[in-house]
Amino acid sequence: MPQRVIVIGASGLIGSHVVQAACPKFIVIEASRHTSPAIDMTDPASVSTFFKRIGAFDHVVVTAGDASFAPLTELDEDKLMYSVRSKMLGQIHIALEARNYLPPRGSITLTSGILARHPITGTAGAAFASGAINSFVYAAALELGKGQRINAVSPGWIQETMEKMGMQAENTVSVKDVAQSYLDIIECDITGQIIDI
């Protein structure tokens, strides 16, 4: 029987392509604020309820999570906490809850990003959240039991996003290639790794 993969953020650019890439080989469970059951990753109670209701699964992929973009001079508490609640703690809450239901050799794949390694002006609020995800993955992998695995994909600048914004698409990666990297992680035995795309 095909394995079951939850894709949280399935309606987004990356998430929708992960769903498309996974469907031929896996049973895909699409999850967002608008699915049933719904999940709001900024609300720990919603995350807990989601996993109680979802039933058996083998892997969970998180492609959701927002962050603040602002110059350092405008990076106030509200903007910082926006990144914390969504991009950082939202994914961590999902990982902590998912591990309670994850079968042996099941996997959790989070999303960090290029800004953790190569920030640009105005991205401190997003860069620290991505860096925190990377650090969490390294440490959490040491404590997961039963062969459970946790990794993160760190996408670079996505070609389709840059083109949509009217920016040059040099040194970018296609969303199709990014999506495939999530499936590669699911199907191999690595853990505690950040996959730079």
| Chain segment 126-166, per-residue pLDDT in tens | 999 999 999 999 999 999 988 999 999 999 877 766 666 66
Q: How many CA atoms lie within 13 A of 183 on its CB side?
A: 21
List all residues 6 or more positions away from 53 whose beta carbon is below 8 Å from its beta carbon: 37
Tokens of residue 145, six digits: 């039991």
Between CA 122 and CA 70 the distance in angstroms is: 5
On whether the CB atoms of residues 178 and 114 are closer than 8 A, the answer is no
Q: Quick one: average pLDDT of 7-25?
A: 95
CB atoms within 10 A of CB 104: 9
Residues 112, 129: Cα–Cα separation, whole Å = 8
Residues 6+ apart with CB under 8 A from 85: 42
pLDDT at 168: 67
Pairing outcome for strands 107-111 and 149-154: parallel
The predicted model gives 102-108 an average pLDDT of 96
Q: What is the pLDDT of residues 54-87, one digit of tens each?
A: 999 999 999 999 898 899 999 999 999 989 999 9
How remote is the C-alpha of 180 from its chain's centroid?
Answer: 14
Strands (E), the chain: 4-8, 27-31, 59-62, 107-111, 149-154, 194-196
**Treating both helix axes as pointing N-terminal to C-terminal, what angle do 44-54 and 89-98 enclose, rounded to 10 degrees?**
30
